Structure 1
Amino acid sequence: MVVAVSMPVYGASKDENSSSDVIKVRVAGTADYEPYTYVDEDDNITGYDIEVIKAIDELAPEIECEYSYTQWDTLLPGLDADKFDVVSNQLGETDERKEMYLYPKYPFLFAGSAVISTADDPMDSFEDLKGKKVDAIVGSSFTTQMEQYLDENPDAFTLEYLDGTLPQMLDEIVNGRVDATVNDPSAAYSKAQVAGIEDRLHISDDIYNGGFSYFLFAKTDKGQQIADIFDKYLPELYYNGTLSELAKKYLGSDSGVTSMAENGFFTEDTLEDFQANEK
């Protein structure tokens, strides 16, 4: 399968005298999942997820990253087709993905989902969705969450599958084609602001299915090498405050970073303590 990348590849040039053993890492995200992965006004890919990788790249002499973007539905096939080495788009852990792709040891954010509906008919819980038509993006981890809920609560609501994007889904909600969805609250609010529809939407404060966000790698020897390098440097970004700074800048809060310790990762007080316990 050929994956069409929308724009030129962007790379961070390192010292020309760098070792020839430096691993070239092809990074891909999507262009429209702000504030996590998106394209800015200068046509550069950025966002919290991408900037974390750039920070790892700055620390790690073993790698040199180049960045491109593509559509959501070609992101994982790009790993399959050896178009990319690592992909990022707030990817959670699922059994199906674990069979096909390589997860690193450490996540870079703890995030959750919220019910998104209209301001005229606000809904705050899965129970509020009873009898409603609920939008679900094909292949999304949020869709998996809703499908799992329906496995336990048959006929609670009807899923309407959308082979599209989050902005399209929000448009369907405000225009009455569906009643609600379940998705990332930060991303939804950011997209609603861009579209000028934030006042027409209700985004619940209740967070469901909190989970870790990971970068995904191809299940190859090269993929394992890169994952090991990411795992080597990501803890340093946590302990030196870089992850918190990036979260505050792009997400408006670092609660998703500090919550990682509350949920079992980076529980030591210092990097030195963490490294000592890892040995």
Structure 2
Amino acid sequence: MTLLPTRTSLRVLLGTTAAAAALVLAGCAPASTEGVVQGSTDEGTTTANSGLTLAEVQDAGTLTIGTEGTYQPFSYHADGGTGELTGYDVDVITAVAEKLGVEPEFEETQWDAMFAGLDGDRFDVIANQVSITDERSAQYDFSEPYSVSPGVVVVPADDTSITSLASLSGKTTAQSLSSNWYTLAQDNGAQVEGVEGWAQAVALVEQGRVDATINDRLTWLDWSTNYPDQAAGLKVAVTTDDSSESAFTFPKGSDDLVAAVDDALDELRADGTLASISERYFGADVSQ
């Protein structure tokens, strides 16, 4: 079973949903092509809905990227929503664009319109923590994952009774009613108290009103980074075997562009760039 985190969990945790103006970073490819992945110079025979080629992107000199801009810590504006566009996804795709020898150009879009924007050629790729699913893979091309997040069971720091999912049997957990974590807790015999999101769930664990809560590791890492004093009283007791993997999303048929992005990600992973970006936002390497 693949565990997919709820998209609202980090928004509830963060509590910042500032409306963001579109940030357009226009530019051209660097004069030097040393270390840059090169595309074919042949004229493509791409037709409508047949995807993008690396050569098309490099000829344009820009990689146009769909992202929300209001989804901390992945894609958001610094300084309470008034600063520059930043975040884990933004930094990673910017580093990828540099490897391709093009400039990143961001198109900020609401999540509900994100895939329509990709379908309508408004942008070349989505960088917004899109989880890989079979349904999406049938319609879009995905890069290799740049973030991997298993589920975690969070308990009080002094708890020694919960050491596996099976040991949740007879325990109480706090979970969002519509989440897959609610189902996972129930399936393992827990008595589940429904809550509105992560902030409420973790507060109940802190207060000793429930024994545990289950969520994705990215949510836990983001919260513990921002609230270290509160996190000191809690710990991760269990990490699930299954993980949610997020990847850059392209129009179907963008094979050579995806291959070039994968090569760029491999280089960024090998030279430590991905780990460094990850540590900046999460205090841990979530890239693999």
Q: Establish whether TM, by shorter chain, passes 0.5.
A: yes
- Secondary structure of the residue aligned to 2:27 is coil
Counterparts of 1:9-48 in structure 2, within 5 Å, are 9-15=22-28, 21-29=60-68, 31-34=70-73, 36-41=74-79, 43-48=83-88
Q: How far did residue 215 of structure 1 move? A: 1.9
Which residue does 1:242 correspond to in 2? Answer: 273
Partner Cα separation in structure 2 for residue 171 and residue 45 of structure 1: 30
1:88 aligns with 2:128: yes
**Cα 1:244/1:161, change in 2 over 3 Å:** same
Partner Cα separation in structure 2 for residue 148 and residue 174 of structure 1: 21
Say which of 105, 115, 130 aligns to 2:153.
115
Partner Cα separation in structure 1 for residue 163 and residue 149 of structure 2: 17
**What TM-score do you get using the length of structure 1 for normalisation?**
0.63
RMSD of aligned residue pairs (Cα, Å): 4.1
Matched residue type, 1:248: E
1:184 aligns with 2:184: no
Q: Deviations over 1:151-188 (max 9, x none)?
A: xx4754437374x5x44543465467865432234532
Q: Deviations over 1:20-79 (max 9, x none)?
A: 634542231463543x44442253332333211110112223563315375xxxx36521
Name the count of aligned residue pairs.
Answer: 238
Counterparts of 1:134-213 in structure 2, within 5 Å, are 134-136=174-176, 138=178, 143-144=179-180, 147=183, 153=187, 155-158=189-192, 160=194, 162=196, 166-167=198-199, 169-171=201-203, 173-174=205-206, 180-185=212-217, 187-192=219-224, 194=226, 198-199=230-231, 202-211=234-243, 213=245
Which residue does 1:125 correspond to in 2? Answer: 164
**Cα 1:21/1:66, change in 2 over 3 Å:** same
Counterparts of 1:195-234 in structure 2, within 5 Å, are 198-199=230-231, 202-211=234-243, 213-221=245-253, 227-234=258-265
Say which of 132, 141, 145 aligns to 1:102.
141
**Equivalent pair of 1:108/1:212 in contact (CA under 8 Å):** no
Of the structure 1 ranges 228-237 and 119-128, higher mean CA displacement relative to structure 2 is found in 119-128
> Which structure 2 segments of 5+ residues have no match?
1-16, 32-57
Q: How far did residue 115 of structure 1 move? A: 0.8
Which residue does 2:114 correspond to in 1? Answer: 78
Matched residue type, 1:237: L
Which residue does 1:263 correspond to in 2? Answer: none
Partner Cα separation in structure 2 for residue 95 and residue 145 of structure 1: 20
- Secondary structure of the residue aligned to 2:247 is strand
**What TM-score do you get using the length of structure 2 for normalisation?**
0.61
Q: How far did residue 108 of structure 1 move? A: 2.0
Matched residue type, 2:137: K
**Cα 1:252/1:57, change in 2 over 3 Å:** same
**Cα 1:232/1:67, change in 2 over 3 Å:** farther
Partner Cα separation in structure 1 for residue 194 and residue 140 of structure 2: 27
> Which structure 1 segments of 5+ residues have no match?
261-279
Matched residue type, 1:94: T
Partner Cα separation in structure 2 for residue 128 and residue 194 of structure 1: 29
**Equivalent pair of 1:134/1:160 in contact (CA under 8 Å):** yes
Partner Cα separation in structure 2 for residue 199 and residue 225 of structure 1: 43
Identity of aligned residues (%): 18
